[in-house]
Structure 1
Amino acid sequence: MNTPSVQVIARQSRLAARQLSSTSESVRNLALAKMADSLESVRRQILEINAQEVAKARQDGLSAAMVKRLTIDDKVFQYMLTRLRKVARRPDPLNRVLEGHTNPNGLQVYKKSVPLGVIGIIYESRPNVTTDAAGVCIKSGNAVILRGGSEALQTNTMLTDAMIEGAVEAGLPEHAIQMIRVPGHEAVGELLKMDDYVDVLIPRGGKGLIRRIAEETRIPVIKHYDGICHLYIAADAVPAQAVELAVNSKCQSVQVCNALETLLVDQRCAEQMLPLLQKAFDANDIELRGCGKAQQLLPDIVPASEEDWHTEYLAPILSIKVVGGIEEAIDHINTYGSGHTDGIVTQSLSNAQQFEQQIDSASVLINASTRLSGGGDYGLGSVVGISTDKLHARGPVGPDELTTYKWVAYGNGHLRG
């Protein structure tokens, strides 16, 4: 069978999107359930293919972080199924009346939520994005074009084919879910030109990939470049809780976008907190890089440079800065942060409110790990990524964020006077 061109795929997606926009919630939820069931039926084959691709990735010298993202084991596979089934239980994001009124002349006017249309997802390494993206798009009535990395081509192909089978069985259009199966950068370049058919692109991967897509297309892009995430330990923070939150934020998974990269410690508690923090991070093999004040209290840590405050490590490295108070912490975060996720540890409601109001980030955490910022832990089920943009979506991008709206007016022969 000939592999369809990117233009053919895009055109087929546009036609499918028109059909999807009028599907009922029950049909879309049935499709999600059948997609999960279809995946379950080929679990063994998917795990075998994925193991082969993981072995090849190691042989080819991919980084440990990339290999980890590529790997699907039984736990990850079950997580993928759970997220599909969870997103099916979410409220329907479509056909909600967002606002409405009746004019004095009797014209009924309202605004309702509708799908964006065709969503292109371009991503690296993570096969779980394949199922998450398809789930979120189907829930929100959007057709989806998937383009994963060549290192996971066979895994993504099996995942996609299984989901297509389930979706079609439930009554969705044949091309509601499609995948670009041609390896190489040329296919991505072609997709970036499909502004006649594709409504939104969502890249998932390194900064280079995201920047290339944003700069080379006229299609709107939902994205984030960096996850330079901060945690500020206020003077009144409970020491044990502060240490636990800092360690979880950094160490639970160092290679992800909501992992802690810079820790800010109030100077009024630094003398007590920094030795406790160093002991905990040493136990997790985290290299600490500190400002001058931090080095005075922890003489054996590495000096932090100006570049460190700008850096998303995605590695077992953490920069530490001692700050004079909440105002300095907020200023540092708004100066060096990427607008992704930032948190505070404090017992003070006024501190928490000031931090929440003045930090310009998509997610602000109060006495909680930065690792919680995301669709699953926010109770959204599957998401297709995190956005640090302010238009159209911000934060976790789930079904609600993949909708727009239209205005509808019902009249009875109404004319413009």
Structure 2
Amino acid sequence: MTDKTHSKTDHTSLITELATAGRLAQRKLARATDAEKADGLRAAAKVIRADAAAILAANEKDMDAGRANGLTGALLDRLKLDEDRLEAIACAIENVASLPDPVGEVIDSRTSPSGFGLERVRIPIGLIGIIYESRPNVTADAAALCLRSGNAALLRGGSEAIHSNRALHAAFTKGLAEVGLPEKAIQLMPTQDREAVGAMLKAAGLVDMIVPRGGKGLVARVQQDARVPVLAHLDGICHTYIHADANPDMAREIAVNAKMRRTGICGAMETLLIDANFPAGESVLAAIADAGCELRGDDRAQKLDSRVKTATSEDWDTEYLDAILAVSVVDDIDGAMEHIAAHSSGHTEAIITDSDDAASRFLGEVDSAIVMHNASTQFADGGEFGLGAEIGIATGRLHARGPVALEGLTTYKWQVKGSGQARP
């Protein structure tokens, strides 16, 4: 389907048409069995492998356009597909197919005082709109997770990956059709017009939830303009606190990994907090700096390593997504948790300590979606949590928190089973 410019009225009509078709397909999908949905995903993975040449050719068009438009090396790397990455996409779809189907799970059950049975049962959310940038693998990941959880999806990828997304979407829906599942359950927006995104964000009653995946600008716009519930996080300002009782070797290894393994992911550590009574702060900062990271810190942090530059107030609230780290020396665990409460985005925080009491306090009192003990924040990932692919990380307090996978894409309903009761 070719891209074209639409008027405001056309955008509303387009979203209404797509959403109506998606909702109808979702009702058909709701009648599919667990095995049928799993077979559909395996068929989609098979077609992606069979159509690899066409998908890679489409991706090369996007790569050529990206180079011509001056995309950075990091963005080009996100965009690039090759045989190994395409195989990883197919494997990820098959992994989702192998996960337990959450739909129909009885969350809890009881008997009411009036004698009828009550059950809370998981059901799909409905039609989920997913807005994302750069990475074409999101097309397949989002489609697989939505389908497995019984939801329809309306996908809107970034313009830089337009040919890749269309090729992956065509292969995926071809696989669904081969096993008799509705192709319209997974739709790709046929236009890159920004106004169409605005129409989708305002489509309350047609779109049940929006999931943005991308940079701060995209997520901020979605959260500001949406009239549909949004599942998202704006920043990944993740902290690691090295407690006074931390093992120095462990602290050094985890801190370097948390920052430098991959600096551009939302689970990368952006601020390191070092307890004033930790005896090996110098060696930790030296290891991070030697790994090629720029350090910005407060007065006490600067005394630990001469390479630490003076931090500004903005550094404590910045998601660098780069080899830059803010460092503060704190008096104790209370000081660390106060700093986190003031500056965290609610994504992921970690404590490094051999003290069970300190770990228990930190895990219990720090209010973020993910809290860790003696582990790198880089593990903040649905795959690492055993959830398969994830659709994103949620930092809000409602519906879902942390990596959002199949369970996070469901809601529930009450089923009441009576035996003739009439309320007096």
Interval containing the TM-score (normalised by the shorter chain): over 0.9
> 1:20-39 alignment to 2 at 5 Å?
20-39=29-48
CA distance in 1 between counterparts of 2:353 and 2:112 reads 50
Give, in angstroms, the shift of residue 103 of structure 1.
3.7
Indicate conservation of the 8 Å contact 1:150/1:184, yes or no: no
Q: Which residue of 1 aligns with 2:9?
A: none
SS in 1 for 2:140: helix
1:177-212 per-residue CA deviation (whole Å, 9 max, x = no partner) reads 000021221221121122121100000111111111
Q: Which residue of 2 aligns with 1:235?
A: 244
SS in 2 for 1:415: coil
1:42-83 per-residue CA deviation (whole Å, 9 max, x = no partner) reads 123222322331232122122333222212233332322222
Q: Which residue of 2 aligns with 1:412?
A: 419
Give, in angstroms, the shift of residue 105 of structure 1.
4.7
Quick check: 1:108 aligned with 2:117? yes
Give, in angstroms, the shift of residue 122 of structure 1.
0.2
Quick check: 1:195 aligned with 2:207? no
1:246 to 242, 255, 266: 255
Quick check: 1:49 aligned with 2:58? yes
Gaps of 5+ in 1: none
CA distance in 2 between counterparts of 1:109 and 1:357 reads 32
Q: Which residue of 1 aligns with 2:158?
A: 149
1:67-103 per-residue CA deviation (whole Å, 9 max, x = no partner) reads 2221223333232222211121211101011122234
Report percent identity of matched pairs: 43
Quick check: 1:390 aligned with 2:401? no
CA distance in 2 between counterparts of 1:51 and 1:240 reads 44
Give, in angstroms, the shift of residue 339 of structure 1.
0.4
Instruction: Flag as ranges the 4+ runs of structure 1 deviating above 4 A.
Output: 1-4
Q: Normalization by structure 1: what TM-score?
A: 0.96
SS in 1 for 2:184: coil
Q: Which residue of 2 aligns with 1:273?
A: 281
2:173 to 146, 164, 169: 164
Matched letter for residue 201 of structure 1: I
Quick check: 1:68 aligned with 2:77? yes
Q: Which residue of 2 aligns with 1:301?
A: 308
Quick check: 1:402 aligned with 2:409? yes
Matched letter for residue 401 of structure 1: G
Gaps of 5+ in 2: 4-12
Size of the aligned set, in residue pairs, is 415
SS in 2 for 1:175: helix
Matched letter for residue 402 of structure 1: L
SS in 1 for 2:187: strand
C-alpha distance 46-283 of structure 1, shift in aligned 2 (>3 A): farther
CA distance in 2 between counterparts of 1:35 and 1:248 reads 35
1:251-300 per-residue CA deviation (whole Å, 9 max, x = no partner) reads 11111111110011111125x222x2333223322111111001122123
Indicate conservation of the 8 Å contact 1:84/1:381, yes or no: no
Taking only aligned residues, the RMSD between alpha carbons, in angstroms, comes to 1.6
2:136 to 127, 131, 138: 127
Give, in angstroms, the shift of residue 172 of structure 1.
1.3
Give, in angstroms, the shift of residue 353 of structure 1.
0.8
> 1:202-351 alignment to 2 at 5 Å?
202-269=211-278, 272-274=280-282, 276-351=283-358
Q: Which residue of 2 aligns with 1:185?
A: 194
Indicate conservation of the 8 Å contact 1:153/1:181, yes or no: no
SS in 2 for 1:412: coil
2:367 to 352, 360, 372: 360
1:364-398 per-residue CA deviation (whole Å, 9 max, x = no partner) reads 11111101011111110011100001111110110
